[in-house]
Chains A and B, each alone.
Chain A
């Protein structure tokens, strides 16, 4: 069964510094997608970045970049120049094949990031 591991329950980072949030995944599907979502205390899930398994380059979106290492099955999120508003829960997610022929998206347990002024 596919699954996602986020080994850091909580992280602290100084404002303006970079931080890396770890994500490893397990799948036997050759075609899959990896996502990162942010969930502030308000509860709404906000999409940050996407990486396809066949994408040759690491995805970047503004201050967010995804360090994709396919052989190691890792998809770490790098946030550059942290801001106070980055304090939130961060979830790694994967699009996987469901029990039917249609895919579904599953989530890791999340990492709580706190940005310190």
Chain B
């Protein structure tokens, strides 16, 4: 079956712009989590959605937001981009919030100039 699909894979933005990243989970998976990965901070939990509802949120400013659609696809948005937002954004899905294994996508690498 198809894995977790993230688009776009690479993108370059300038400070002050906004960006939207997309994640399509494995078919049948209803939970989608987002992580930010940077060399300095490692993998940081952003938020998790289940059945279109945000279930958990990490310690990020309000510029980071997300949503989930009825087909379980999820988007995350970062507004007013800063240089420090340059990172690999990873999406992961699991069947439900109590399921154990997260299956990750290949990531979206964002560069902010």
A interface residue numbers (CB < 8 A to B):
33, 35, 37, 42-47, 50, 52, 91, 95, 98-100, 102-110
Contacts and interface: CB of A to CB of B under 8 A. Distances in A.
A107 B36 CA distance: 11
Given A91-B43, A104-B45, A42 B106 contact: yes
Contacts of A98: 48, 55-56
A33 B100 contact: yes
A45 B104 contact: yes
Contacts of A108: 42
A102 B31 CA distance: 11
Q: How large is the interface on B (under 10, 10 to 19, 20 to 34, 35 or more residues)?
A: 20 to 34
A28 B87 CA distance: 31
Nearest to A106: B45
Nearest to A6: B42
A102 B56 contact: yes
29 contacts: A33-B100, A35-B101, A42-B106, A43-B88, A43-B106, A43-B109, A44-B104, A44-B107, A45-B92, A45-B102, A47-B101, A98-B55, A98-B56, A102-B48, A102-B50, A102-B55, A102-B97, A103-B56, A104-B48, A104-B55, A104-B56, A105-B33, A105-B92, A106-B45, A107-B35, A107-B45, A108-B42, A110-B42, A110-B43
A52 B100 CA distance: 9
Interface string B35-55: 100000011010010100001
B105 interface: yes
A47 B55 contact: no
User: Can you list the 4 inter-chain pairs with the closest CB atoms, starting with the nearest?
Assistant: A45-B104, A98-B56, A107-B43, A102-B55
Contacts of B90: 45
A44 B50 contact: no
Given A47-B104, A98-B56, 19 more contacts: A43-B106, A44-B107, A45-B90, A45-B102, A47-B101, A47-B102, A50-B100, A98-B48, A99-B56, A102-B50, A103-B97, A103-B98, A104-B33, A104-B45, A104-B48, A105-B92, A105-B102, A108-B42, A110-B43
